[in-house]
Amino acid sequence: MNNQVYIFDTTLRDGEQSPGASLNIKEKIEIAKTLEQLQVDVIEAGFPISSRGDFKSVKTISTHIKNTTIAALARASEQDINAAYEALKDCKNKRIHTFLATSDIHLKYKLKMDRNSVLEKAVHAVKYAKNLGVEVEFSAEDAARTDLDYLCKITESVIAAGADIVNIPDTVGYALPNEFAERIKTLFNKVSNIDQAIISVHCHNDLGLAVANTLEAITNGARQIECTINGLGERAGNAALEEIIMTLKTRQNALNLTTNINTKNIYKTSRLVSNLTGIAVQRNKAIVGANAFAHEAGIHQHGVLSHTETYEIMTPESIGLKTSNIVLGKHSGRHAFINKLEKLGYSFEKVKIDELFFKFKELADKKKDIFDEDIQALATDEFNNKKNDFLKLKLFSVLSGNQEIPHAKVKIIKDGKEVQASANGDGPVDAAYNAIEKVAGIELKLEDYNIRAISRGKDAMGEVIVQVSASNLSFYGKGTSTDIVEASIKAYVDAVNKILRNTKLKS
Ligand code: KIV
Ligand code: ZN
């Protein structure tokens, strides 16, 4: 059997379904371009029928990405498939990914259909998509809980109908690794035409087993993996791309499987996705967490210094992580700045570079040493600086002290007009948030607040990530600054803008 495993990245579809994650088109294009540099084989760009925004994203990504296959999701209906086809029209390498639930529990309570009708519907959808002349993937939703004989029958039927790829999702993250392995093995033993399609897996992480289940599946014959950057996705997320890839690379001796991924781009992609979604990567997360290559215990440090392999099974360089070095400072020129931006994987138009260079100089006046992380923060801020934001912070001032009632004043551009508000709070950040709430004119609730230094030193930039909700919407927002109150305000305004944007989209 061929030892090449194809990587299907669904960060922009399943990943974007993470609670609180929301990306605009510009951000999605940037992620898609970075995924292309990472050399994934397929980018699932969205679910075109689900919203106008998703349709537009798939369409726009289709025109920007030239070498990677773009997949669009569709339920097993002609209307969904037509929308996916329409969105993919300008795409060079397109795939329609159609899905239908196959487990009895979904048939009974969700679809209210019997097994024969589901089988017919699946076959019809695959034939219909195939007739459009595109590559077709069929997913048997909740396959891990589907009666195994029935799953074999569906798999055989959709392959006979023309499916190029058949995906076996563990939609609810229920399977145990040995059970999932057995399931894939049985498909290979019982489905007579299995060699005519690629078998794919898509594992959710509800029990923390998504990566283990994925590895079991490829050991038993599956050759496509569906995964996301940083393990983003519905509920507890999907299998994390970086964990699977680095397992395949580090344990090549045991697994003997290869992929097209350029592992040196893993870290950069992880940071970009975290920065743009506003979803922080936990410090102890495998591969891309801040502590993944940090050796705290003296005995470990000593071992690593004498011979890295004593405690390091892979190098930080293999995922493109360089130890943070001082890169630029007050006297650095434009050329060095542009060079650094390019090295970090950012590309901007000339006008944007001018603006960024100005901001870089401002930052260099405030802090002596500028690290890679500082430049990344500036570049991400530029992405977050959306022209059509509802609220834009113009200025703020706060009064705080152990003998004062904390007070904040904000001036914000709202719908093109300058609006000023002031409020008290139980601290300067709370006061500023109360003032912003007055400007926004909606009731807001701060669900979560996190702050960290993004580089080293007393003058380091602070990064604040907040989760803010209003009625039944909840979004993350991120802000960076050398001033933590400013970073807090920027993060709050970012989240509130997402809430307002989504409220407007819905109305
Ligand atoms: O989890 C799932 O089953 C899915 C399908 C649409 C593939 O996301
Ligand atoms: Zn899923």
HEC string of 71-140? Answer: EEEEECCHHHHHHHHHHHCCCCCEEEEEEEECCHHHHHHHHCCCHHHHHHHHHHHHHHHHCCCCEEEEEE
Ligand 1 residue neighbourhood (C-beta within 6 Å): 14, 99, 139, 141, 167, 169, 171, 202, 204
- Given a contact cutoff of 8 angstroms between Cβ atoms, the answer to whether 238 and 205 are in contact is yes
Q: Higher-confidence residue: 343 or 43?
A: 43
- Residue 138 is predicted with a pLDDT of 98
3-state SS class at 264: helix
Q: How far apart are CA 272 and CA 31, in angstroms?
A: 7
- 38 C-alpha vs ligand 1 centroid, how far in Å? 23
Q: Higher-confidence residue: 304 or 373?
A: 373
Q: 160 Cβ partners below 8 Å, 6+ apart?
A: 123, 193
Q: Which among 119, 136, 122, 261 has a CA at the least distance from the CA of 197?
A: 136
pLDDT tens-place string over residues 444-486 = 999 999 998 887 788 888 999 999 999 888 888 989 999 999 9
- Given a contact cutoff of 8 angstroms between Cβ atoms, the answer to whether 177 and 149 are in contact is no
- 235 C-alpha vs ligand 1 centroid, how far in Å? 12
- 58 C-alpha vs ligand 1 centroid, how far in Å? 18
Could you tell which of 10, 13, 14 is best to mutate to test the pocket of ligand 1, judged by most ligand atoms within 8 Å of the CB? 14
Angle ∠(274,170,235) on CA atoms, nearest 5 = 40
Could you tell which of 139, 213, 235 is best to mutate to test the pocket of ligand 1, judged by most ligand atoms within 8 Å of the CB? 139
> Model confidence at 301, in pLDDT bands (50, 70, 90)?
low
114 has pLDDT over 90: yes
- Given a contact cutoff of 8 angstroms between Cβ atoms, the answer to whether 329 and 364 are in contact is yes
Helix (H) or strand (E) holding 417: strand 417-424
Among all bound ligands, the one having the nearest atom to the CA of 71 is 1
Q: How far apart are CA 322 and CA 279, in angstroms?
A: 22
As a whole number, the mean pLDDT across the chain is: 92
Among all bound ligands, the one having the nearest atom to the CA of 97 is 1
Q: Higher-confidence residue: 347 or 148?
A: 148
360 has pLDDT over 70: yes
Q: Which among 86, 18, 410 has a CA at the least distance from the CA of 228?
A: 18
Could you tell which of 106, 171, 226, 238 is best to mutate to test the pocket of ligand 1, judged by most ligand atoms within 8 Å of the CB? 171
| Domain architecture of the chain: domains with CATH | 6-277 (3.20.20.70), 298-383 (no CATH), 386-506 (3.30.160.270)
- 238 C-alpha vs ligand 2 centroid, how far in Å? 7
One-letter amino acid at 330 equals K
In terms of average pLDDT, the best of 13-27, 310-324, 371-385 is 13-27
User: Which atom of ligand 1 is nearest the CA belonging to 226?
Assistant: 7
One-letter amino acid at 33 equals K
> Model confidence at 507, in pLDDT bands (50, 70, 90)?
very low
- 237 C-alpha vs ligand 2 centroid, how far in Å? 8
Among all bound ligands, the one having the nearest atom to the CA of 171 is 1
Residue whose token pair is 């960024």: 356
178 has pLDDT over 50: yes
- Residue 20 is predicted with a pLDDT of 78
Distances (CA, A) of 87 to 11, 25, 44, 98: 18, 14, 12, 14
Distances (CA, A) of 487 to 291, 465, 482, 484, 493: 24, 9, 8, 5, 10
Q: 195 Cβ partners below 8 Å, 6+ apart?
A: none
Q: How far apart are CA 236 and CA 154, in angstroms?
A: 28
Q: 240 Cβ partners below 8 Å, 6+ apart?
A: 205, 210, 211, 227, 228, 229, 230, 231, 286, 287
Q: How far apart are CA 308 and CA 302, in angstroms?
A: 9
- Residue 311 is predicted with a pLDDT of 76
Among all bound ligands, the one having the nearest atom to the CA of 227 is 2
Tokens of 419: 């609006």
- Given a contact cutoff of 8 angstroms between Cβ atoms, the answer to whether 232 and 11 are in contact is yes
- 203 C-alpha vs ligand 2 centroid, how far in Å? 7
Farthest-apart Cα atoms in the chain, separation: 79
> pTM for this structure?
0.84
User: Which atom of ligand 1 is nearest the CA belonging to 14?
Assistant: 8
- Given a contact cutoff of 8 angstroms between Cβ atoms, the answer to whether 144 and 180 are in contact is yes
Could you tell which of 50, 138, 202 is best to mutate to test the pocket of ligand 1, judged by most ligand atoms within 8 Å of the CB? 202
- 499 C-alpha vs ligand 1 centroid, how far in Å? 26
